[in-house]
Amino acid sequence: MNIFATWLATMIRENMRWKRPLVREPGAIRVFYGYESLPTSQEIASGGLVKTQDLQSVFPNFPRGPNLLYLISSALPPYAPRMARCAKKAGAKVVLNQNGVAYPAWHGAGWETSNRFMREVLQQADYVFYQSQFCKLGADRYLDPRNESCEVLFNPVDTSFFHPSTSVFPLTSIRLLLAGSHHHFYRVQSAIDTVMRLRESGLDARLEISGRCCWHTETSSAEDQLRQYIEDHSLAAEITISGPYTQEQAPILFQRAHILLHTKYNDPCPRLVVEAMASGLPVIYSASGGTPELVGSEAGVGVPAPLDWEKD
């Protein structure tokens, strides 16, 4: 691969993108999210790109002739700092949606390199939306402290789309849900262990595991490990693996459960938690990261977890 050729092609493309007329209509906002195309709500997406599925309905993606660059720290495009420089040079504004950062516990070796690109974008941003106080805490610690032209703004939820079910499910069996992208085995392991202990105490607890299993390079390897763990604990009849889901499918997923389990430690700003609460689900969660800010004292129960940047 010719690195210089790739660099040159990127420079030419971005210079051309931002040299086009920035304003075609007075007062018009033309947003570019850093990608030529973005997934729709009918397509499977994960992480930061899910945010763009809602944003596009109000501010469509303009790969040509934009006047505002909106970047999401957890879904930065290749060469994001260079893209931001080209945008600012052309007089466009740069807005950053700052989620979590790389830190030693979950990232391991190379976390400094991963943060370098986020730091460069944050330093160039005209405005920063931190997705939680925890997100700002992490960014101030590992990127660059910032106290001007910024605010903490939680992930939104469309309550006309995410709402409680009109059907009432009997509590003869407790339906638990674990959803989202599972980047570490402990997330599903904790949920399975919870079901096992509930059943040992006499409760008819059942679990649905939805979302991507991606703690191994190959998804199939992660799913094999998951199924084996379920088999080893004789819970195959009580646990369902439903796999990845789209935003269009998410409301039904929440509406067929009683409780959301959110086992991820130090989750910066879990969107699925507010979607679950809007759907009428209380949340049992790791009381770490940004999740306690979202759930508060009345919408669920947190399992105490100390803040630790070195151990996950």
Mean pLDDT by 10 residues, the chain (312 residues): 62 74 70 88 73 87 92 92 92 95 86 92 98 97 96 94 89 94 95 98 97 93 96 97 92 96 95 96 97 96 93 78
Based on the fold, state whether residues 95 and 29 are members of the same structural domain: yes
Based on the fold, state whether residues 147 and 207 are members of the same structural domain: no
Report the pLDDT value the prediction gives residue 20, as an integer from 0 to 100: 61
Q: Is residue 78 part of a domain?
A: yes
Based on the fold, state whether residues 105 and 230 are members of the same structural domain: no
Based on the fold, state whether residues 109 and 183 are members of the same structural domain: no
Based on the fold, state whether residues 145 and 204 are members of the same structural domain: no
Count CB neighbours of 148 within 10 A.
Answer: 6
Based on the fold, state whether residues 61 and 129 are members of the same structural domain: yes
Give the helix/strand (H/E) hosting 121: helix 111-124
Based on the fold, state whether residues 148 and 198 are members of the same structural domain: no
Q: Residue 91: which region, alpha, beta or left (left: phi > 0; alpha: psi -120 to 50)?
A: left
Q: Is residue 79 part of a domain?
A: yes
Q: Minimal CA–CA distance to 242: which of 177, 146, 198, 155?
A: 177
Report the pLDDT value the prediction gives residue 78, as an integer from 0 to 100: 86
CATH number of the CATH domain containing 140: 3.40.50
Domain boundary among 85, 120, 152: 152
The C-alpha atoms of residue 306 and residue 245 are separated, in whole angstroms, by 32
Based on the fold, state whether residues 7 and 131 are members of the same structural domain: yes
Q: Residue 80: which region, alpha, beta or left (left: phi > 0; alpha: psi -120 to 50)?
A: alpha
Report the pLDDT value the prediction gives residue 167, as an integer from 0 to 100: 85
Report the pLDDT value the prediction gives residue 26, as an integer from 0 to 100: 66
Q: Which domain holds residue 283?
A: 174-304
In the chain, the number of structural domains is 2
Q: Is residue 266 part of a domain?
A: yes
CATH number of the CATH domain containing 249: 3.40.50.2000
Based on the fold, state whether residues 134 and 184 are members of the same structural domain: no
Report the pLDDT value the prediction gives residue 231, as an integer from 0 to 100: 97
Q: Is residue 169 part of a domain?
A: no
Q: Is residue 200 part of a domain?
A: yes
